[in-house]
Chain A
Amino acid sequence: MAVGWFVLLAHALFCLGVYGMLTRRNAIGLLLAVELILNAAALNFVLFSRVFGAVQAQAFALFIIALAACEAVVGLAIILSLSRSAKTIAADEVQLLKG
């Protein structure tokens, strides 16, 4: 199994995430796209941990998963609060900084 092949898979996952971030209007859809990007990064870390036998890379993949959890929690809390105050979660319809 070639390493470059797994790298391509991570690239494809990352670029699909970028596509989602560029096109989605719904804020939750944006969060889903961010999860794709973070997963591509974690995939690269695990791949290089396997290739170079580096345990630190796996630890950093673990940190990525933990930070993704933080990001999802805070992001969804903001979206919930936004849907309550602005009555919309479309990212391009929110115009107020102070609700």
Chain B
Amino acid sequence: MTVVASLFAILILTAAVWVVTLRNLFRAALSLGLVLLGVAGVFILLEAEFLAFVQILIYVGAILTLVIFAIMLTATPHGSPEAPAHRQPLAAALASGGLFAVLAGSTQALVWPTLPVSDAVSLATLGTQLVTTLVLPFEVISLVFVAAMVGAIAIASAKRPGSR
């Protein structure tokens, strides 16, 4: 498991670096797909198979497709290969590296419990929780979802500029 987890970690981190550094947004989006698949693999290692499949279905299937559509729809004909794709990479690298050092320093000092042998959360328990204890957040999420969809359609609907 250690070897597989390390391979997934290398995949995730390499692809995440590509996501934030590649100039070509289309390639960055495809790298995001690699990150999402790697995270789904880690979910499977952590015995959350349902979440792994949800991750692949929603993230890789829906969100990534949406992002790629948006990249193609907003691609300007003149392009912007001359304009810098990044601003202040050095300062940002220092800031995020410092953030990582602070986070790692504060969490690695803690004593973590060892992973239990197999304490898998069953899908049936998750489903029962979603319709009993967590029913209010669950319904609120569906409401937020409907509101987001309606809002997105209202915002993106083709309205002639100037018309009210």
Min CB distance B29 to A, Å, is 6
Interface size for chain A: under 10, 10 to 19, 20 to 34, or 35 or more residues? 35 or more
Interface size in chain B (residues, C-beta < 8 A): 88
Decide: A19 and B92 in contact? CB cutoff 8 A. yes
Instruction: Name the interface residues of A1-20: CB closer than 8 Å to any CB of B.
Output: 1-9, 11-20
Cα of A87 to Cα of B75 in the assembled complex, Å = 10
Given contacts A3-B114, A25-B86, A36-B19, contact A12 B100 (CB under 8 A): yes
Contact A32–B67 (Cβ < 8 Å): yes
Q: Is B99 interfacial (CB-CB < 8 Å)? A: yes
Contact B155 A74 (CB under 8 A): yes
By a CB distance below 8 angstroms, the chain B residues around A74 are 148, 151-152, 155
B137 touches A18 (CB 8 A): no
- Residue contact B25 to A26, C-beta cutoff 8 Å: yes
Answer yes or no: A94 CB below 8 A from chain B CBs. Answer: no
8 Å CB interface, B115-164 against A:
115-116, 119-121, 125-126, 129-130, 133-134, 137-138, 141, 144-145, 148-149, 151-153, 155-156, 158, 161
Residues in A60-81 with C-beta less than 8 Å from chain B? 61-63, 65-74, 76-81
Which residues of chain A come closer than 8 Å to B50, judged between CB atoms? 58
Cβ of B88 and Cβ of A22 under 8 Å apart? yes
Binding site for B on A (CB under 8 A): 1-9, 11-20, 22-26, 28-29, 31-33, 35-36, 39, 42-43, 46-47, 49-56, 58-59, 61-63, 65-74, 76-81, 83-85, 87-90, 92, 99
10 A-B pairs with least C-beta separation: A20-B20, A22-B92, A70-B148, A77-B152, A3-B112, A77-B156, A19-B96, A15-B100, A83-B74, A23-B86
5 contacts between A and B (CB under 8 A): A17-B16, A50-B46, A50-B47, A67-B144, A84-B158
